[in-house]
């Protein structure tokens, strides 16, 4: 009986043979799963990368750059040369100061010099060093880098970038441009806009690249008025007037009557008794620390070659504002001067803007303007001075067509001629 039961349940004791593992199939499945996961990850990454900026832009719209505004200096009443406060002093039974009785000591002079240098050190907060790096190869095909350096000044913060005023020649052939601030922090910059006539350039440094510690150590340059700068005015040169960065020199204005004729504009030039190099650049300041002139390498030879010269800042403010707002400057190609009422009477030349020179292959030449013509109207607006012509040039852009009315001398006297000039950009 027992044997029979044992026989009946023998199937329970049977061992089931495990199905052999198909390693090839498992490898294929694992590879498929891995590939799908990888594909999903790549697709998800692309979707996130594509949508994230849009989502951030929707949730946190970027702040639009503010418009840079630089008020133009307007002439006011002539400054009085009388001693201020004399009447009040007499009313109070006080004697006015007699400057002939004042004999400054060496300590007084040293104190004055210390105060001037203190103004210069404070101004170094808005001074920067601009470095243009150019890659070259020598005759043996060995790569090397060359550097051009100049100074610049911080002129604006438009909420997205710092704007640096400098000279285009420093960076004209550079592949990379760097700006070094007063705390020796160096940050890569880019060209925003430039003027081919004066050589002034505006560089952009993104605020996102500037550390908060650096922002605390820099400032925006205050642009003063140069309309009433006179001979003998104390002045401070900052930047690199001797070719050395962040140097400070002091001196006096020696002349304010010189001008320089450039293409489509004329500018007042200040000369000083400050000894400087021809490669000097930077800014001239008054005793308040305000910029009254730009020291530029291109104009360093307008006065004595061993003294510092500067372009009056009031003549450049409108240009700087346009460049700071990324507006291209128009070019016609004329050398001009004003025909005043006195010249009109003496030489019987129509009042307007006299064309001294027409640049070769310029828009003005292509439109038929000639030396000796007198511009009297542009786009229906009377043009009777250099200032009026320059204001008109600042209002137009490359590509604009300007209707110019000129007076040209003929056998029967001056006749009116219309010329349509298409403005371009001077490279």
Q: Among 7-11, 165-169, 331-335, 377-381, where is mean pLDDT lowest?
A: 7-11
Q: Which fold has domain 334-422?
A: Pdz3 Domain (2.30.42)
Q: Above 80 in pLDDT, residue 166?
A: yes
Mapping DSSP onto H, E and C, the string for 214-232 reads: HHCCCCCCCECCCCCCCCC
Name the band, by pLDDT with cuts 50, 70 and 90, for residue 92: very low
Query: What phi, psi does 54 have (nearest 5°)?
Result: -70, -40
pTM, two decimals, is 0.79
Structure token pair of residue 269: 């030039």
Please choose, from the candidates 278, 277, 274, 281, the residue with its C-alpha nearest in 3D space to the C-alpha of residue 236.
274
Q: What is the pLDDT of residue 1?
A: 53
CATH annotation of 127-215: 2.40.10.10
Q: What is the rounded distance in angstroms from the CA atom of residue 189 to the CA atom of residue 318?
A: 23
Using an 8 Å Cβ cutoff, are 404 and 369 in contact? yes
Taking Cα atoms as reference points, which of 215, 127, 203 lies closest to residue 165?
A: 203
Q: Residue 258 CA to chain centroid, in angstroms?
A: 24
- Is pLDDT at 47 greater than 90 in this prediction? no
Q: How far is CA 328 from CA 63, 67, 239, 323, 367, in A?
A: 23, 15, 27, 7, 21
In which band, very low, low, confident or very high, does the pLDDT at 86 lie, cut at 50, 70 and 90? very low
The per-residue pLDDT for range 188-197, each reduced to its tens digit, is 999 999 999 9
Q: How many CB atoms lie within 10 A of CB 411?
A: 5
Lowest mean pLDDT across 7-11, 150-154, 236-240, 417-421? 7-11
Instruction: For residue range 237-255, list pLDDT tens digits in order.
Output: 999 988 888 999 999 999 9
pLDDT score at 409: 93
Rounded mean pLDDT, 11-25: 60
pLDDT for residue 38: 73
pLDDT, one tens digit per residue, over 101-145 is 778 888 888 998 999 999 999 999 999 999 999 877 767 677 667
Coarse DSSP helix, strand, coil percentages of the chain, rounded to the nearest 5 percent: 30, 35, 35
Q: What percent of the chain has pLDDT over 70?
A: 81
Q: Mean pLDDT throughout 222-245?
A: 92
* HEC secondary structure over 335-376: EEEEECHHHHHHHCCCCEEEEEEECCCCHHHHCCCCCCCEEE
- The CATH code for residues 234-324 is 2.40.10.10
| Average pLDDT, rounded, for the chain | 85
């Amino acid at each position: 009986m027992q044997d029979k039961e044992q026989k009946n349940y023998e199937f329970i004791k049977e061992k089931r043979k495990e199905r052999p593992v198909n390693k090839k199939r498992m490898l294929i499945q694992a590879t498929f799963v891995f590939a799908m996961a990888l594909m999903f990850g790549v697709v998800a990454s692309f979707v996130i990368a594509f949508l994230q900026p849009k989502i951030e832009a929707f949730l946190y719209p970027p702040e639009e750059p503010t418009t840079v505004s630089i008020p133009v200096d307007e002439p006011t009443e002539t400054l009085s040369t009388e001693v201020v406060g004399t009447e009040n002093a007499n009313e109070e039974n006080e004697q006015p100061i007699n400057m002939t009785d004042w004999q400054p000591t060496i300590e007084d002079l040293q104190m004055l010099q210390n105060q001037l240098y203190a103004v210069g050190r404070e101004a170094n907060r808005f001074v920067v060093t601009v470095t243009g790096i150019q890659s070259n190869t020598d005759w043996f095909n060995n790569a090397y880098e060359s550097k051009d350096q100049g100074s610049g000044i911080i002129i604006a913060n438009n909420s997205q970038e710092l704007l640096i005023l400098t000279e285009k020649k420093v960076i004209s052939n550079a592949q990379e441009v760097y700006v070094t601030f007063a705390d020796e922090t160096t940050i890569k910059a880019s060209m925003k806009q430039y003027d081919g006539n004066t050589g002034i350039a505006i560089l952009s440094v993104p605020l996102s690249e500037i550390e908060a510690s650096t922002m605390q150590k820099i400032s925006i340059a205050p642009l003063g008025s140069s309309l009433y700068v006179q001979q003998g005015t104390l002045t401070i040169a900052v930047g690199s007037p001797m070719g050395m960065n962040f140097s400070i020199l002091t001196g006096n204005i020696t002349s304010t009557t010189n001008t320089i004729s450039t293409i489509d504009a004329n500018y007042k030039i200040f000369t000083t008794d400050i000894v400087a190099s021809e490669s000097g650049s930077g800014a001239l300041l008054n005793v308040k620390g305000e910029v009254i002139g730009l020291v530029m390498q291109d104009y360093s030879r307008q006065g004595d070659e061993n003294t510092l010269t500067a372009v009056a800042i009031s003549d450049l403010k409108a240009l700087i504002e346009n460049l700071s707002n990324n507006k291209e400057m128009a070019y016609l190609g004329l050398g001009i001067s004003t025909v005043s009422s006195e010249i009109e009477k003496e030489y019987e030349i129509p009042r307007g803007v006299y064309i001294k020179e027409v640049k070769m292959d310029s828009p003005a030449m292509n439109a038929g303007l000639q030396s000796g013509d007198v511009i009297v109207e542009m786009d229906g607006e009377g043009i009777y001075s250099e200032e009026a012509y320059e204001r008109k040039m600042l209002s137009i852009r490359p590509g604009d067509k300007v209707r110019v009315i000129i007076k040209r001398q003929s056998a029967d006297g001056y006749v009116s001629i219309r010329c349509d000039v298409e403005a371009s950009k001077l490279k």
